[in-house]
Amino acid sequence: MSPDLRFLDIEALGVPIRLHVKAEPDTAASILDELRHAWQLCTTTGQPPTRHLLIWLSDDLAQDPPHGFDGLAQHRNLPHLLQIATQQITRLAILGNAGRYLMLHAAGLAHPVTGDAVAFVAAGGTGKTTLCRTLGPKWAYLTDETVAMDQSDQIVPYPKPLSIREPHRNAKYETAPTDLGLKVPTVPARLRSIVFLERQPDWAGPIQVTDLPVFDAIVELTPQSSSLNRLPRPLHLLAELHARLDRVSKVVYGEAATLEPFIADLIGAAR
Amino acid sequence: MNYRRVPTVDELYADDEALILTDVRAVRVSGIGPKLLAILSDQWQSESALVAGMEELFGSPDTGSARDHVVGALTQLLDQGLVESDDPVDGIALAT
């Protein structure tokens, strides 16, 4: 039987992306089902796709995307394949918004009623997903990866699946936000605070919060932003954002759950 | 030796500090660095011209020589990748 090619349309940060799945027919159908479930909060609004990603379950590894595709996710192992697909979708979404939005490498939670939002800035693998998984159900989920906002600080939600490592299993699994009790806000989300996460696993005391002056904040933000140079006068933009926000802080903590009162102070207790 | 600024994306000045965004990162400049950056341009200028320009605009330093202050600041700006010199060893570019 020859490999089957099926597709699913999603929108990531407003970028319409067609996910093309290539695998044996039965497998392709189940991969498509997994993608449809994992990306259920990023459904298409009907825009025709402007980016095409090939998701290919295969032992053979190609170097570049085939002609007609903007990205390639390829692996022989399904969980790894889906994780690579998520990374590629994020890459295409960021590329599609370069010069349009300020994009921070951050998780985002919002108050479900007011839309007041906080961005938790951190490098990959340093606590964003765990924070969303732990505290996200108490507020509304915007993203665990990229906070993108327009000039009025309105955030474009990117409620992507979360990569979760299950106990006793090596691979991370792309998990639908709804499976973790996460919901997107029903009102527009507007950024009110930025918090730089500094998780120290051995940290046992109360969380330590330090407010950052504007230059300190910009120096920290710059390496955690995407395509910043494509925005007009980016340093001035960040300085003006700093002035508008309620707080820009760094927090040292051990466990994500201990951040709950701090977040409630920033955007209000939710439920 | 001659010096000139390298292109930047954006610059922010406040009090005695500056933040300079290059293609790769935001660099913080303090001390007399921001004043020196204001005098430097994309045209090559000699060390002597820069010392004279600093003294003319901002006066002599309270302690030490103006030349020592300027050379120290230029060395720092070179290290930070904000300035290049025509020194083939320490500088980034050769004068043409």
* Of A215, A223, A239, Cβ closest to residue B25: A223
Q: CA distances (Å), A107 to each of A84, A121, A132, A183, in order?
A: 19, 7, 7, 14
Q: B96 vs chain A: nearest CA distance in angstroms?
A: 29
* Of A218, A223, A233, Cβ closest to residue B19: A218
Ranges in chain B, pLDDT < 50: 94-96
Under an 8 Å CB criterion, which residues of A touch B? 214-215, 218-219, 222-223, 228-229, 233-236, 239
Q: Which residues of B touch A219 (CB under 8 A)?
A: 19, 26, 28
CB under 8 Å, gap of 24 or more: what pairs does A202-205 form? A202/A254, A203/A252, A203/A253, A203/A254, A204/A254
* Helix, strand, coil shares, percent, chain B, to 5: 35, 25, 40
> What is the crossing angle of helices A25-38 and A78-97, to 10°?
50
pLDDT the model gives residue A270: 74
Number of helices followed by number of strands (H, E) in chain B: 3, 6
pLDDT the model gives residue B91: 56
Q: What is the pLDDT of residues A45-102, one digit of tens each?
A: 999 999 999 999 988 777 788 899 999 999 999 999 999 999 999 999 999 999 999 9
Q: Which residues of A touch B12 (CB under 8 A)?
A: 215, 218, 235-236, 239
pLDDT the model gives residue A2: 55
Mean pLDDT of chain A: 94
- For residue B12, the one-letter residue type is L
Host H or E run for residue B6: none
Predicted ipTM? 0.85
pLDDT the model gives residue A106: 98
Q: What is the pLDDT of residues A113-145, one digit of tens each?
A: 999 999 999 988 889 999 999 999 999 999 999
Q: What is the pLDDT of residues A229-251, one digit of tens each?
A: 999 999 999 999 999 999 999 99
Cβ-Cβ contacts under 8 Å between A and B: the total is: 34
Query: Is the pLDDT confidence value at A168 over 80?
Result: no
Report pTM.
0.91
> β-strands B83-85, B2-5: how paired?
antiparallel
Would you say the C-alpha torsion A142, A143, A144, A146 has a positive or negative sign?
A: negative
Query: A153: Cβ–Cβ under 8 A, 6 or more apart, which residues?
Result: A190, A191, A241, A244
CB A66 within 8 A of CB A52: no
> β-strands A247-253, A208-211: how paired?
antiparallel
pLDDT the model gives residue A271: 63
* Of A223, A229, A236, Cβ closest to residue B12: A236
Test A218 with B11 for CB contact under 8 angstroms: no
Q: What is the pLDDT of residues A101-118, one digit of tens each?
A: 999 999 999 999 999 999
pLDDT the model gives residue B95: 43
pLDDT the model gives residue B24: 75
